[in-house]
Amino acid sequence: QKATWSKLINDPTLSADGHQVELAANIGTPNDLASVLDNGAEGIGLYRTEFLYMGRDQLPSEEEQFEAYKQVLEKMKDKPVVVRTLDIGGDKELPYLDLPQELNPFLGFRAIRLCLDQQDLFRTQLRALLRASIYGNLKIMFPMIATLEEYRQARAILEEEKQKLVEAGVQVADSIEVGIMVEVPSTAVLADRFATEVDFFSIGTNDLIQYTLAADRMNERVSYLYQPFHPALLRLIRNVIQAAHHEGKWVGMCGEMAGDPVAIPILLGLGLDEFSMSATSILPARHQIKHLSKAQAESVVEELLNMDTAEEVVNFVKKNFPIS
């Protein structure tokens, strides 16, 4: 298997009937890059910047962040690098921010909510990103967007920081795509409205599943409800992809689901453009997609969307797309 896969390192990702998609990697630190390139990633679909902020006793400086972002962009050359702005809260804490304990951290003060409130922290990160933008192909992504106002406010702050840098004579890339994670059901439902304003979407299924089925992703007692193949979730994903394509925007997925061999035929059939996963899943996924027909996947998906349960979905996919 390994030998067959490794031949695919420099290949584009094409289905048996010639449809091209992008396979990207999720990373947490610049140290993950070696494995990304060794595994034939076509880009970074999710750079989780939280790790820069964790395991220390104060915020990372703008300079420190700039160095990390620059390093990732330079190593990836002209390949796309989607950097997610700080997604802290939920299961990830920063003791030095001294935030009050919450009863429902996953429904609380996290990610973009915190960044829009603590703007110094947010603006510092954005400046570091903007300054690093000239070293590669940077795309910026905001996490946990639940309303259009949040997106507009975050984007306005980004534009402000960019303007200030340009006025100060600092070089910034001309066109940086700005997108959002779709991990809150309100945003998946309203995707048509978001699609006119964002440059891209990346579906964060790890959270979208927990919020859609109201099942805490850390709670084992309700893990039976954590169902990636629930028809409701598939319909939300379809809605996001259709809305984006209607506006000529692209859609990625950076939740665990994107690298799952059972999910891949479904996502291909739904028209997902970019699949972002752990680096070691990339070559097996490329091999799998090479043997899948997009046209067949589309017709299977039509049936899945009318099913009642996740179990039916999984059985039907496994029957139609045996995994070699």
281 binds ligand PEP (CB under 6 A): no
Q: Which of 207, 216, 260, 274 binds Mg ion (CB under 5 A)?
A: 207
Spatial CA neighbour of 313 closest among 270, 268, 266, 257 = 266
DSSP letters spanning 151-199: HHHHHHHHHHHHHHHHHTT----S--EEEEEE-SHHHHHTHHHHHTT-S
Cβ pair 184, 208 in contact under 8 A: yes
Least CB distance to ligand PEP at residue 164 (A): 29
Q: Inter-axis angle of helices 310-320 and 231-246, to 10 degrees?
A: 70
Q: Is 127 annotated as a binding residue?
A: no
Min dist. Cβ of residue 94 to ligand PEP (A): 15
The site partner of 255 among Mg ion, ligand PEP, none (C-beta below 5 to 8 Å per kind) is ligand PEP
Which of ligand PEP, Mg ion, none binds 42 (CB below 5-8 Å, type-dependent)? Answer: none
Among candidate residues 213, 233, 244, 254, the one labeled active-site is 254
CA distances in angstroms from 282 to 45, 222, 292, 320, listed in the order given = 12, 30, 15, 22
Question: Is 230 an interacting residue with respect to ligand PEP (CB under 6 A)?
Answer: no
Which of 22, 42, 48, 178 touches ligand PEP by CB under 6 A? 48
Q: Does 110 bind ligand PEP (CB under 6 A)?
A: no
- Measured between alpha carbons, how far is 150 from 272 in angstroms, rounded to an integer? 25
Residue 205 binds ligand PEP (CB under 6 A): yes
240 binds ligand PEP (CB under 6 A): no
Chain position whose Cβ is nearest to Mg ion:
207
Sign of the alpha-carbon torsion through 109, 110, 113, 115:
positive
Using rule CB under 5 A, residue 204 touches Mg ion: yes
> In the complex with ligand PEP, which residue's Cβ is closer, 114 or 292?
114
Binding to ligand PEP by residue 199, rule CB under 6 A?
A: no
Using only the alpha carbons of the chain, give its radius of gyration: 19
| In the block, residue with structure tokens 């920063």 | 94
286 belongs to an annotated ligand binding site: no
For position 185 contacting ligand PEP by CB under 6 A, the verdict is no
- Does position 255 interact with ligand PEP (CB under 6 A)? The reply is yes
Which of 150, 199, 207, 216 contacts ligand PEP by CB under 6 A?
Answer: 207
Distance CA 224, CA 271 (A): 28
* Element (DSSP H or E) covering residue 58: none
Comparing C-alpha atoms, which of 260, 135, 266, 245 is closest to residue 200? 245
Show the beta-strand stretches assigned E in the chain. 13-14, 20-27, 44-48, 80-84, 137-142, 177-182, 200-203, 250-253, 274-277
Q: Verify whether residue 115 is a known catalytic residue.
A: no
If contact means CB under 5 to 8 A according to the sort of partner, which of ligand PEP, Mg ion, none does residue 254 touch?
ligand PEP
Q: Does 269 bind Mg ion (CB under 5 A)?
A: no
Which residues contribute to the annotated binding site for phosphoenolpyruvate? 48, 84, 206-207, 217
Residues contributing to the site for ligand PEP (CB under 6 A): 46, 48, 87, 183, 204-207, 254-255
Active site residues: 254
Residues contributing to the site for Mg ion (CB under 5 A): 183, 204, 207
